[in-house]
C-alpha cells in the first residue's frame, strides 16, 4: 500500500487562500453590529492586526518552503537564465537526441562494411573485365576493351547492401569514322539537355580502302544499321540512334558472355537480364567459401560513346521503348567522371571528419522511409523526383555555397536539416539546375571541358507538374520532422533483400 505524502505545491497555496478568506470575514464582521460591539470592547483592532500578521507569516513560510522544492533551490547545470537561453538549451538537447538516433540509424541500417563492399567490387571488376576484353574488334563497332565504374558504390555514398553497381562500357567506332555531336533543338519534356550524333566518314578516307579505313559500302551499311532519319523540325539528316545502338549492345554482350562463361563458372554464376525499356543487367552470384561473399550482385551495363575528355554520351533514359525518329535518336551527356573529380576536390578541401557523404547517405535512407506510406501514383513519382542523382546534385550545390568548415561532423544535424530545406525550397520553386551544364560557379581547379561551360542550363525538375512537386515537398518536410518516429517504426534488419533489385 502506498503511503500518503503531503503535496507542498498544493498545501501552502490552500493555506494562504484560507487565511485570506478569514481576513475578509473579519472585515465583514467589523462592519456589522457584532463588529461594532467588538470595537466598543476594544478587541476589533487587535484582532484585525493579529490576522494580518498571521497572513504575512504564512505567506513568508509558503515562499520559504516553495524555494526548497526540488528544482527550485538551484537551476540545472547548463540551463541559461534568460528565456532565449533556455530555448537554445532545449533545442541543443533535442538535437543531441536526434543526432544519437540518426547515428544509430546510419550504423545499423545504412553503413556498408568496407570488407564486403571490397569483395563485391572485386567480383564485378573480374566479370565485366572478361566481358569487355572478349568484345574487342579492330574493324567494326565494338567495345573499347575497358569499362568505367560510376555510381554511389564508387563514390563512397552507397547505402544498405552492396548488391547493385553501375558500369559504363565505352564503345569504339570503326577506324576513320567520327561523330559530329550537336545539342538537340526544341524544348520538349524529357529531352532537355539531349544531344544528337551525326555519323560521318573522315574527309579523304572513304576512298582509301587499302589503308584500313572503311569503304563507302561498309560506312553505308553501318549507317543503315544504327542511324535514323530525323524530321526537318529537329534538324533533319541521319543520326546515330541510341535505341539501335542499345539493341546492338545487348546482342553484343550476350555473345561475349557466351564466350567467357566457361572461364567464369568456377568462380561465379553469371546470367543476363534483357527487357524492353529496362537497363541491361548482369547478375553475378559468387561461388565462394566466405559467407561475406555470397551476396548476389546486379551490374547495370550502359553503352557509352567517348566524347571529349572524361565525357561520354549514353542513351537517353526512357521508361518505354523509344519509337524511331523520336526518342531513339537522342543521347545524354554523362558527367560521372567530372562528378567524381569534384567529390575528390571537396574531400581534399573539407575537414578530415567532414560529414557531407554521411548526410547524403542518411538523406537516402530517410527518403526510403518517407516513401513507404505513400499511395500510388505519388509513391512512384516520389522515387522519380527524389532520385539518388537529384539528392546528390542538391548536396553538391550546398557544398559549392560553402564554407566547407561548416561540414565538420559535429554539425551533422544542422547540415542535414539544411539539405532537407534546400530540397524543399527547390521543389516549391520547381527548379533544381544540373550542376555541370552551364554553371559558372564550378571551381577552376577542375579544368572542365568547354562544352560543359557553354551548355544551356538544364532543370532536373522540368518534367514534373507543380501540384506533384508541392505534394512531394510537403511529404519531404514532414519526413524530416517525423524522422525519429519513422526510424523507430521501420527499423529492421540490415540486409533484408535476398536478391538484387
**SS3 per residue for 286-314:** ECCCCHHHCCCEEEEEEEEEECCCCCEEE
Q: Cite the beta strand spans of 53-193 per DSSP E.
A: 142-143, 148-150, 164-172, 177-183
Query: Across the chain, what does the average pLDDT equal?
Result: 79
Choose between 178 and 294: higher pLDDT. 178
Choose between 411 and 277: higher pLDDT. 411
* Cβ contacts of 166 within 8 Å, gap of 6 or more: 149, 150, 151, 153, 299, 300, 302
Domain ranges of the chain: 8-66, 116-334, 335-501
Question: Rounded mean pLDDT of 31-57?
Answer: 60
Check residue 411 and give its pLDDT. Answer: 93
Banded model confidence at residue 123, pLDDT cuts 50, 70, 90: confident
Please list the helix, strand and coil fractions of the chain in percent, rounded to the nearest 5, in that order. 50, 15, 35
Fold of the domain built from segment(s) 335-501: Poly(a)-polymerase, middle domain (1.10.1410)
- The answer to whether the beta carbons of residues 456 and 438 sit under 8 Å apart is yes
Domain 116-334 carries which CATH code?
Answer: 3.30.460.90
Question: Rounded mean pLDDT of 319-326?
Answer: 48
7-21 pLDDT, tens digit per residue, is 656 666 677 777 777
Q: Is 145 left (phi over 0), alpha (psi -120 to 50) or beta?
A: left
Choose between 402 and 293: higher pLDDT. 402
* Cβ contacts of 408 within 8 Å, gap of 6 or more: 351, 353, 354, 355
- pTM, two decimal places: 0.76
Check residue 71 and give its pLDDT. Answer: 46
Banded model confidence at residue 74, pLDDT cuts 50, 70, 90: very low
Residue 458 has pLDDT above 80, yes or no: yes
Please provide residue 177's backbone torsions phi and psi, each rounded to the nearest 5 degrees.
-110, 140
Residue 362 has pLDDT above 70, yes or no: yes
Please provide residue 264's backbone torsions phi and psi, each rounded to the nearest 5 degrees.
-100, -10
Check residue 44 and give its pLDDT. Answer: 54
CA gap 237, 243 in Å, rounded: 17
Question: Rounded mean pLDDT of 46-63?
Answer: 66
Domains 116-334 and 335-501 share a fold: no
Question: DSSP secondary-structure letter at 464?
Answer: S
Which range in 185-189, 375-379, 409-413 is most confidently predicted, on average pLDDT? 409-413
Banded model confidence at residue 304, pLDDT cuts 50, 70, 90: very high
Amino acid at each position: 500500500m502506498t503511503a500518503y505524502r503531503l503535496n507542498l505545491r498544493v498545501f501552502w497555496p490552500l493555506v494562504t487562500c484560507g487565511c485570506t478568506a478569514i481576513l475578509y470575514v473579519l472585515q465583514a464582521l467589523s462592519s456589522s453590529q457584532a463588529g461594532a460591539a467588538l470595537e466598543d470592547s476594544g478587541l476589533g483592532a487587535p484582532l484585525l492586526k493579529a490576522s494580518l500578521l498571521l497572513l504575512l507569516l504564512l505567506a513568508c513560510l509558503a515562499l520559504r518552503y516553495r524555494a526548497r522544492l526540488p528544482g527550485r533551490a538551484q537551476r540545472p547545470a547548463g540551463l541559461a537564465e534568460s528565456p532565449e537561453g533556455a530555448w537554445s538549451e532545449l533545442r541543443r538537447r533535442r538535437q543531441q537526441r536526434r543526432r544519437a538516433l540518426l547515428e544509430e540509424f546510419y550504423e545499423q541500417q545504412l553503413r556498408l562494411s568496407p570488407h564486403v563492399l571490397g569483395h563485391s567490387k572485386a567480383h564485378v571488376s573480374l566479370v565485366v573485365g572478361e566481358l569487355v576484353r572478349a568484345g574487342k574488334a579492330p574493324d567494326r563497332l565494338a567495345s573499347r576493351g575497358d569499362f568505367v565504374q560510376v555510381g554511389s558504390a564508387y563514390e563512397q555514398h552507397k547505402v544498405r547492401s552492396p548488391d547493385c553497381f553501375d558500369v559504363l562500357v565505352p564503345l569504339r567506332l570503326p577506324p576513320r569514322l567520327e561523330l559530329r555531336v550537336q545539342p538537340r533543338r526544341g524544348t520538349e519534356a524529357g529531352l532537355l539537355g539531349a544531344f544528337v550524333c551525326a555519323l560521318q566518314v573522315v574527309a579523304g578516307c572513304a576512298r582509301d580502302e587499302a589503308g584500313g579505313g572503311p569503304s563507302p559500302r561498309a560506312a553505308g551499311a553501318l549507317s543503315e544499321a544504327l542511324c535514323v532519319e530525323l524530321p526537318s523540325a529537329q534538324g533533319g539528316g541521319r543520326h546515330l540512334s541510341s535505341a539501335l545502338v542499345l539493341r546492338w549492345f545487348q546482342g553484343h554482350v550476350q555473345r561475349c558472355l557466351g564466350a567467357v562463361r566457361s572461364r567464369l563458372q568456377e568462380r561465379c554464376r553469371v546470367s543476363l537480364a534483357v527487357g524492353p525499356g529496362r537497363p541491361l543487367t548482369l547478375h553475378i552470384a559468387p561461388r565462394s567459401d566466405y559467407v561475406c561473399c555470397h551476396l548476389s550482385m546486379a551490374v547495370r551495363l550502359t553503352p557509352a560513346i567517348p566524347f571529349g575528355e572524361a565525357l561520354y554520351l549514353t542513351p537517353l533514359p526512357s521508361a518505354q521503348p523509344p519509337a524511331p525518329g523520336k526518342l531513339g535518336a537522342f543521347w545524354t551527356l554523362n558527367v560521372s567522371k567530372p562528378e567524381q573529380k569534384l567529390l575528390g576536390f571537396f574531400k581534399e578541401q573539407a575537414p578530415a571528419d567532414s560529414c557531407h557523404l554521411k548526410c547524403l547517405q542518411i538523406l537516402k535512407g530517410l527518403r526510403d522511409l518517407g516513401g513507404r506510406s505513400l499511395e500510388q501514383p505519388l509513391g512512384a513519382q516520389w522515387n522519380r523526383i527524389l532520385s539518388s542523382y537529384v539528392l546528390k546534385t542538391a548536396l553538391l550545390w550546398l557544398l559549392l555555397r560553402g564554407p566547407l568548415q561548416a561540414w565538420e561532423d559535429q554539425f551533422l544535424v544542422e547540415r542535414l536539416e539544411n539539405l532537407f530545406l534546400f530540397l524543399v525550397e527547390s521543389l516549391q520553386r520547381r527548379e533544381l539546375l544540373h550542376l555541370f551544364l552551364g554553371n559558372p560557379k564550378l571551381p577552376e581547379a577542375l579544368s572542365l571541358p568547354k562544352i560543359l561551360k557553354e551548355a544551356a542550363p538544364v532543370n532536373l525538375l522540368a518534367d514534373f507538374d507543380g501540384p506533384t512537386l508541392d505534394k512531394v515537398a510537403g511529404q519531404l518536410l514532414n519526413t524530416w520532422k517525423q524522422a525519429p518516429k519513422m526510424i523507430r517504426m521501420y527499423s529492421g534488419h540490415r540486409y533484408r533483400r535476398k536478391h538484387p533489385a
